[in-house]
Each structure stands twice: as C-alpha cells, then as structure tokens.
Amino acid sequence: MSSADGTGEQLAFIRETVRRAKPRAARGVVLAERRPVARVLVDKGVLSLDQYFDYAVPEAMSEDAQPGVRVRVRFGGRVGAHGRREGGALHDGFVVERRDDSDYAGPLAPLARVLSPERVLTPKLLRLCRAVADRYAGTLADVLQLAVPPRHAGAEGEPSPRPLPPPSAPAPGSWERYAHGPGFLASLAGGHAPRAVWTALPGPEWPAEIARAVAATLAGGRGALVVLPDGRAVARVDAALRALLGEGRHAVLAAEAGPQERYRRWLSVSRGSVHAAVGTRAAVFAPVRDLGLVVVWSDGDSSHGDPNAPYPHVREVALLRAAEEGAAVLLGGVSMTVEAAQLLRSGWARPLAATRETVRQVAPRVRTVTEHDQARDGAARAARLPSVAWETAREALTRGPVLVQVPRRGYAPRLACGRCRETARCRACGGPLESPAADSALVCAWCGTEERDWHCAECGSFRLRASVVGVRRTAEELGKAFPSVPVRTSGRDAVLATVPGTPALVLATPGAEPVAEGPGYAAALLLDGWALLNRPDLRAGEETVRRWLTAAALVRPAGEGGTVVVVAEAAARPVQALVRWDPAGHAGVELDEREELRFPPVSRMASVTGSPRAVADLLGLLRLPAGADVLGPVPVAAFGAGGAREDGAERALVRVAPGQGAALAAALKAAQIARLALRGAETVRIRVDPTDIG
C-alpha cells in the first residue's frame, strides 16, 4: 500500500472518529444517557436555513424530548471560550429525530425547553410537508406553519375520548344515480384505493354522497379526509355525516371554531379518537390515521389556493398525500377543472359521472339571451334586464325564490362608453372609472381622481353605461321593478348560508350563493356574463363555467319548472357548456388548447414577481433544465394600501416540460438562496404552478 493511500485512510478514519465522537454540550449541562442529540427543525422559514440543526438533550428533558414534540431552542449567537452559548434568540422548533451522535464536532447548545410532550409532528406529516416544500420551492418551516395549528395548553391537558368501532357499510343511496357509484363505495368499504374524478349532479344531494363515501371508508377500517372551499360547504357535509353516522366519528376543522376549539379537534384526530376530518384548506394536512380516502370538493375554487408562502394548492397536496399513504382520491364538483381532466386523460383517475339521460332529468332548463336584448316594458328597462330574464323572474316569483348572480359587489364598479363600449378610463393615470353612488362624480379606481367632464377617447361620445353593475346597484333597480318582492343580498360583507323557500329576489356574487330551503330556487339569472368571460386570465372560461354551474345547480330541475337565464353571447364555449350541462366536455377542450400552447397543467410553470432588478438578478442566477424557456419579464400592476396603483413591478414566467417540475422548483430555490446571499433581501415572490396567469 502506498504512502498516499495510507494517508487517505488515516484521514477518513479521523473524520469518522470525530463524527462519531460522543457529543459535547455547553459546560454545566448533563447530557441524556441515551440518544443525547436532538435533531431540530427550527421555525425560522429562511430559505438558506432550510435544514435541521443538532442540539444537546439535557438528562432532565430526555423523557419528554421525543421526535414530534415542540421545543424552544436558542438560535444564532456564538459559543464562547468556556463552551457556553452567548447571544442568540429563542425560537420554536420541532424535534424530528433523536441520535447518538452529531455531524457537528463542536459543543452543542442544549434544548432550552420542551414546550409540550404531545407528539404533533408525525413521521407521515413530516414527509408530506417536506414534499410540499420541495414541490413549491419553499421551506419546510413555512409549510409546517400551515400544517400544524398553534398550541393551546388547555386543550392538550384534556383527554380525548376513546374511538368508536367502525360503522357498517352504508347503502349506495343516491350514488346509484352514477354508473359506477355503488362500485366505488364497495371498493372503499373493501379497503381498496380507487381514484375518481366525480362530476356531481345538480341538486342538494352531494353532501350526503360525500358522507356515504366517508362512511364506506370507515367501514373498511381506514380514515377519511374531506376538504371543502368554505365554511358553508363544511357545515353541509358536517350535517350529512351526523345524520348518517351520528356523533363522535368525525371532527370539523374550520377557522370558525376558534383557535382553542380547533386545536382540541385537531388533537382528537392526531390521537386517533376520530378517524375522519372535515374542514377547509388547512385540513388537507390533518393527521388522520391510516388514511384511506381524500375528498376535495370543487377543486377549482380559488379558496383552495393558500395565500401564504409557499402558496400550495389543496388539490396538489391531496394528490401528494394520497400517493404517499396509499389512499383513495375523490375530486368532486358540479364542474371540472383542466387538472382533473388531465388526470382522467392520463388514466390516473377514472370518471364518476351520470348518464346524459339522468343529467337531463335533474338539471334546470337553460336559456340564453344577449345583453343587447332590450326589455319590452318599463319595469324591465328600469332593472336593466333583457325581457326574457325579466319575464322569467316574474313568473318564477309566483312559485319560489329567484337567484340573481352579479359578477361584482358594490354599486357600479366599472363604466364604459354607451356607444362603442370602450372602458371609461381616467385621463390622469389610465385607470378604470367607477360610480360610487347614484349622484356622485366619476372616480378613478386606481388614483382616486374625480372625472367631471368625461368623453370617450375612441368615438367622442359623452354617454356612459354600467359595464358591470354591482350587487347593491342591481338590488336597487330590481327593488323598483318588483316593488312587492323582498330583496336579499349575499356577498363578501355578509354571506348568507340559506334563504327561505318563499318568493324573494336573492342577489349574490359568485361563490356567495345561499342554498334555498325546500326544492331550491325557481329560477336563476346570471347577469353580465361577458364580464366573466372577458377577464384577461388563462382560466377565464373554466372559472366562468364553474361559477355558472355552481349557481345553476341550486335551481330546481326543468321538470319542476326550474329555469336558468344566462346573459352572454350564446355562441361562446362556456355558454354552450352550461346549456348542455357538459363540464367534462368543456374541460377536455380547454385541455386540448393548453397542450397546443404548452401551458399548465400540460407543462410546469412558475411566476417570479418583484422589482425589475430583483427579477433580473434571480433569472441571472437560475440554472434551468434543458428545454426550459422564460416568458418576459413584463410590467404588472401592483396595488398598495387603499388600492393605490404602484408601478414598477415585473413578472416573468418560467416554463419547463412535464416531468421537470421538481428540477424547476429546486433551481428556483437555489437561485433564491444565492440571490439573498449575494444581493441582499429584496423580496421576490415565487409561485409554482400559479392558478391565475393573466
């Protein structure tokens, strides 16, 4: 053996000996006898610190400092001459592992405190959060803030009840309306993991159908998780589960319960007291034991996208989790997203839908009129409704409530030229003009400048028209047209869950439509359809179909007189999808177009938004996989406090081929770390697979 070889072996032996040497702690700390090192995830959320750190475990904390518990540690500072940690602030963290040795050869700082012996970070939850962080180019600490609710000592001190035995498998019930519905339930009850995209029929049965799918999963000895877009949907599924299974088999995880009560319910899931959880966005991380089914209702709803970094989407987290834990998947809704259509086309999931004959039996009649149609009487003109819509509402009000969907809240947010329909814009900044009240001057929505002498820059006309009439303005006008009928409104300021089944006009913005008691609405009017269709967004058509179908699904079947009137161009593809009640067909055509354009979900994409300098710095440091391309950067509108326009921001879109999403996320994360280290901390917002691409 040569001298060089011997030196190499010696160095390797020394490195291994140092690495395996018994860990040292600061002077005065008695180390735990067994596994004296705790590997800790420090809750700092800094990209460059997205790693684990080793701490010494004092003997007094050894019993409680187990993997999964919350701890306090001192982070930062330095080790002084006597081996004591000097400086550094206290931070929360999670113990992820107990070890016999450490990769760090110096003295380890001790754990400052074990906050609770409750093991809230299970190995499965840790793996899921790591996968989500990697997919979205974020940090594990940021994802854990979304996944694990804040601690409440009072809730932890309360014992959770003993779990109930599995229920009996439910009868198919209304699932028999779907060709493969009973077979899907039987597969769940048998402990299998079917994957389905469910096109739900219109009507009030879908909460009960979700409840039966959960019951079948519990009967098979596994757990279930249901994620819905809002508290009203959660309440409906909660009521359906109570009616089918009784009390004590599921927990509702929603913000409306309050922090302490929500944490108490979360603990009942974590401890295995209940094997089913129902909730909004954050519930997708609920630590359901032996997960057998994940249900996501209305996966196209914007509420499923988290507004906090790293901006994960419920659907993608659910799919990651189902793959990790071998669970069944049910993506359901009255509409269908392009992502769901892709899952069907790839064969990853199977369709769960009713026959066309069944759809015709339960869907309302849909009539189309254009906004150019003029009313034939004074009341209709006052309400700014085409005569067909006005007459439909008048007749339906003799039988029950009428739903009126208005795309915007408020009074009359946007105005246009009455002759050429060009948007009325501010002469100072180019922003859109609006009318805050009936007798007020026009005001710019961006800079707040009043405009008292407007004329159209395109045709010279001085005549204005309301291009999108808000809920309050529409309520005013309909109240004049139907003076003897009650008018109720539901929107962002006050969302109604239900309304009586008696005659009334119910005005709602998209997503805020209340459920009508009894057989449902007698009719629905979908106003200003062009305002939805003409939005400058890749998903404008898909989102319009979802909003229309969601409202129309609340209307009685055509055989019971239910009618929907949509005010939009009849030849538009989303309008035809509504008329035929064919969300799957519309999603398939949209997917074809995305394939031609190489846009998500066919490709993987990320948006990078910030100042021009920051965006340029990040793009310069980005090492993309082969075949990737960058679109932009282009200027984007940013809005500060009070809605004032802030110019100067830019956005670039980075696109890669299918199968390269992980490489894209890793490259973005590495470039962000390098940029922060070299250039400072100027903010750049990175969103992987953004749902809104204007």
pLDDT of residue 14: 40
Q: What DSSP character marks residue 192?
A: -
Of residues 521 and 91, more confidently modeled: 521
List, in sequence order, the alpha helices (H) in 458-582: 471-481, 529-533, 540-552, 573-580
CA dihedral 680, 681, 687, 693 (to 10 degrees): -80
Lookup result for tokens 């840790």: 126
Of 643, 631, 637, 572, which Cα lies nearest the Cα of 606? 631
pLDDT of residue 533: 79
- How much is the average pLDDT of 562-581? 93
Which tokens hold the place of 192?
A: 């299998």
Q: What is the DSSP string of 646-689?
A: E---EEEEEEE-TT-HHHHHHHHHHHHHHHHHHH----EEEEES
Q: How far apart are CA 344 and CA 350, in angstroms?
A: 6
CB 609 within 8 A of CB 650: yes
- How much is the average pLDDT of 407-426? 62
Q: How far apart are CA 294 and CA 271, in angstroms?
A: 19
Of residues 44 and 194, more confidently modeled: 194
Lowest mean pLDDT among 9-18, 243-252, 548-557: 9-18
Q: Does residue 601 have a cis peptide bond before it, meaning omega lies within 30 degrees of 0?
A: yes
Identify the sign of the CA torsion 350, 354, 357, 360: negative
Output 204-207 pairs: Cβ under 8 A, ≥24 positions apart: 204/515, 204/520, 205/174, 206/297, 206/332, 206/334, 207/233, 207/236, 207/237, 207/239, 207/240
- How much is the average pLDDT of 336-355? 96
Helix (H, G, I), strand (E, B) or coil at 245: helix
With a cut of 70, say whether residue 197 has pLDDT above it. yes
Q: How far apart are CA 308 and CA 588, in angstroms?
A: 31
With a cut of 60, say whether residue 312 has pLDDT above it. yes
pLDDT of residue 195: 98
With a cut of 70, say whether residue 439 has pLDDT above it. no
Lowest mean pLDDT among 274-283, 315-324, 450-459: 450-459
pLDDT of residue 597: 83
Q: What DSSP character marks residue 165?
A: P
Q: How far apart are CA 272 and CA 161, in angstroms?
A: 9
Per-residue pLDDT tens digits for 57-70: 999 999 999 999 99
Helix (H, G, I), strand (E, B) or coil at 292: strand
pLDDT of residue 501: 94
Enclosing H/E stretch for 116:
strand 113-116
User: Across the beta sheet with 251-253, what order do the strands follow?
Assistant: 251-253, 276-279, 223-227, 291-297, 328-333, 195-199, 350-352
pLDDT of residue 13: 44
pLDDT of residue 235: 95
Give the pLDDT band (50/70/90) at residue 425.
confident
Q: Which residues are annotated as a binding site?
A: 417, 420, 426, 429, 444, 447, 456, 459
Q: Specify burial of residue 247 (Cβ count, 10 A radius: 0-12, 13-18, 19+).
A: exposed
Lowest mean pLDDT among 47-56, 64-73, 306-315, 390-399: 47-56
With a cut of 60, say whether residue 437 has pLDDT above it. no
With a cut of 70, say whether residue 10 has pLDDT above it. no
Residue 300's identity, in one-letter code, is G
Q: How far apart are CA 588 and CA 655, in angstroms?
A: 22
Which tokens hold the place of 492?
A: 């962002």
Per-residue pLDDT tens digits for 464-488: 765 555 556 666 667 767 888 898 9
CB 160 within 8 A of CB 268: yes
Q: Which residues are annotated as a binding site for Zn(2+)?
A: 417, 420, 426, 429, 444, 447, 456, 459
- How much is the average pLDDT of 593-616? 89
With a cut of 90, say whether residue 453 has pLDDT above it. no
Of residues 342 and 5, more confidently modeled: 342
pLDDT of residue 178: 97
Enclosing H/E stretch for 297:
strand 291-297
CB 38 within 8 A of CB 59: no
Q: How far apart are CA 616 and CA 190, in angstroms?
A: 55
Lowest mean pLDDT among 135-139, 370-374, 665-669: 370-374
Pairing of β 107-108 and β 450-451? unpaired
Beta bridge partners of 586: none
| pTM of the predicted structure, to 2 decimals | 0.85
Question: Which residues have a Cβ under 8 Å from the Cβ of 234 and sit 6 or more positions away?
Answer: 228, 252, 254, 278, 279, 280
* 324 Cα distance to chain centroid: 20
Q: Which of 474-483, 550-559, 593-602 has the highest mean pLDDT?
A: 550-559
- Beta strands (DSSP E) in 195-334 are 195-199, 223-227, 251-253, 276-279, 291-297, 328-333
Identify the sign of the CA torsion 378, 380, 384, 387: negative
Identify the sign of the CA torsion 404, 406, 412, 414: negative
With a cut of 70, say whether residue 642 has pLDDT above it. no
Per-residue pLDDT tens digits for 252-274: 998 888 888 999 999 999 999 99
pLDDT of residue 412: 40
Which tokens hold the place of 79?
A: 């080790």
Cα 380–Cα 385–Cα 386 angle in degrees, nearest 5: 95
Per-residue pLDDT tens digits for 675-686: 877 766 677 899
Phi, psi of 40 (to 5 degrees): -120, 135
Question: Which residues have a Cβ under 8 Å from the Cβ of 445 and sit 6 or more positions away?
Answer: 413, 414, 431, 432, 433, 434, 643
Write down the mean pLDDT value for the chain: 85
With a cut of 80, say whether residue 674 has pLDDT above it. yes
Which tokens hold the place of 541?
A: 């058509």
With a cut of 60, say whether residue 9 has pLDDT above it. no
pLDDT of residue 498: 94
Q: How far apart are CA 203 and CA 206, in angstroms?
A: 7
pLDDT of residue 274: 96
Number of Cβ within 10 Å of residue 534's Cβ equals 11
Of residues 185 and 13, more confidently modeled: 185
Phi, psi of 605 (to 5 degrees): -145, 150
Give the pLDDT band (50/70/90) at residue 643.
very low
With a cut of 80, say whether residue 546 has pLDDT above it. yes
Beta bridge partners of 684: 610
pLDDT of residue 192: 97
How far CA 262 is from CA of 108, 211, 242, in Å, comes to: 36, 21, 18
With a cut of 60, say whether residue 212 has pLDDT above it. yes
- How much is the average pLDDT of 292-320? 95
List, in sequence order, the alpha helices (H) in 305-416: 314-325, 338-346, 356-362, 378-383, 387-396
- How much is the average pLDDT of 19-27? 58
Lowest mean pLDDT among 42-51, 67-76, 149-158, 431-440: 431-440
